[in-house]
Amino acid sequence: MHVPDGFINAPVSAAAGLVAAGAVAVSLRGARRELDDRTAPLAGLVAAFIFAVQMLNFPVAAGTSGHLLGGALAAILVGPYTGVLVIAVVLLMQGILFADGGLTALGVNITVMGAVTVLTAYVLFRGLVRVLPRTRRSVTVASFVAALVSVPAAAAAFTLIYAVGGTTDVPVTKVFTAMVGVHVLIGIGEAAITTATVGAVIAVRPDLVYGARGLTAPLKLRVGGELVDAAPAAAPAAAAPRSTKKVWATGLATALALAGIVSFYASASPDGLEKVAADQGIDTKVEDHAAKDSPLADYGVSGVTNARLSGGLAGTIGVGATVVVGTGVFWAVRRRRAEAAASAGAGVAPAGTAERETV
């Protein structure tokens, strides 16, 4: 659903840019509470993984494909604020390096694919886990529903933006019906990918899934014929945090394999937005991408004639660049949190200091 340049006029694109900038600013502050020394590098990995999976277009109807948006997956794995930043990093890398998604439309894309999907998915996810039994299965069920709904919600958000600032004169009702209809189908694929990924991480390291924190059901004991909650076992005082190196290495290897090898077999059909735009005529004023001459434009390496090798190299470079930039961003956010905490601690006088100074 990468919106290209020319679909939305300049004033509305600028307004969407302000909305996106505000969402990113709020998320930078909120992510400080979500990130720690373990999750900061994992957030960069999630960005790289979403980049890789977005290259895997899957068929959803005759002549139409879809791909992961990733807002629900990011929000559930690393938190809603960090999730918005994850999608923003992915979209920025795609727009600058691969000419995917217009640069003047970057604000539209961050708003639609980032803020809307993350907010919709996480609110629905949290609501479901509150009413479902406190089990890991409930997390995966809630993940499926949240991811499914987030995609047509993003399609509806694009339609709203198009209604205000579309550059073509196509009835909004036709755009809405076509966009939401095809993206409900794409949402099923989104839900399947999100559920499989969240389930896989929960199976090996539930402590690393932001949306699963505190959801473990308490142990039950039968006392006098009734089930009661057992007292939680005390954690070892000197227990060290488990290493995330194995998870990080496995996730990175998976992302590289998906982008470098599996992406060659992705559907070549236009995605939902491209198909609707062509069928409804809202792409008549599309503009060339500012980075169309990039050596990685259209997910291929310029000068490499073998399509399989060209696409594989581009995908591998994209994953590597995204994980480096993403990890750098999230470490910087984490460092800001540590600096703020240190400053706050330095500004608090030890107990009794004020009284001693006045004696």
HEC secondary structure over the chain: CCCCCCCECHHHHHHHHHHHHHHHHHHHHHHHHHCCCCHHHHHHHHHHHHHHHHCCCEEEECCEEECCCCHHHHHHHHCHHHHHHHHHHHHHHHHHHHCCCCCCCHHHHHHHHHHHHHHHHHHHHHHHHHHCCCCHHHHHHHHHHHHHHHHHHHHHHHHHHHHHHECCCCCHHHHHHHHHHHHHHHHHHHHHHHHHHHHHHHHHCHHHCHHHCCCCCCCEEEECCEEEECCCCCCCCCCCCCCCHHHHHHHHHHHHHHHHCHHHHCCCCCEHHHHHHHHHCCCCCCCCCCCCCCCCHHHCCCCCCCHHHHHHHHHHHHHHHHHHHHHHHHHHHHHHHHHHHHHHHHCCCCCCHHHHHHC
Residue 138 tokens read as: 């409930």
Give pLDDT, residue 359: 33
Whole-structure pTM over 0.85, yes or no?
yes
The number of residues in the chain equals: 359
Instruction: Round to whole Å and give the CA distance between 345 and 276.
Output: 55
pLDDT in tens, the chain (359 residues): 999 999 999 999 999 999 999 999 999 999 999 998 888 889 999 999 999 999 999 999 889 999 999 999 999 999 999 999 999 999 999 999 999 999 999 999 999 999 999 999 999 999 999 999 988 899 999 999 999 999 999 999 999 999 999 999 999 999 999 999 999 999 999 999 999 999 999 999 999 999 998 765 444 555 666 655 545 445 444 455 678 889 999 999 999 999 999 999 999 999 999 999 999 999 999 999 999 999 999 999 999 999 999 999 999 999 999 999 999 999 999 887 777 667 666 654 444 444 433 33
Query: Which pLDDT score, from 0 to 100, does residue 351 have?
Result: 47
Cβ-in-10-Å burial (0-12, 13-18, 19+) of 356 comes to exposed
pLDDT at 345: 66
| pLDDT of res. 154 | 98
Specify the pLDDT at position 354: 43
- What is the pLDDT at residue 134? 86
Fold of 10-220+261-339: Arp2/3 complex 21 kDa subunit ARPC3 (1.10.1760)
- For residue 70, give Cα distances in angstroms to 75, 168, 246, 250: 9, 29, 23, 19
Residue 107 confidence (pLDDT):
97
Exposure class string for 148-160: b at 16+ Cβ within 10 A, else e: bbbbbbbbbbbbe
The domain segmentation of the chain, as residue ranges, is 10-220+261-339
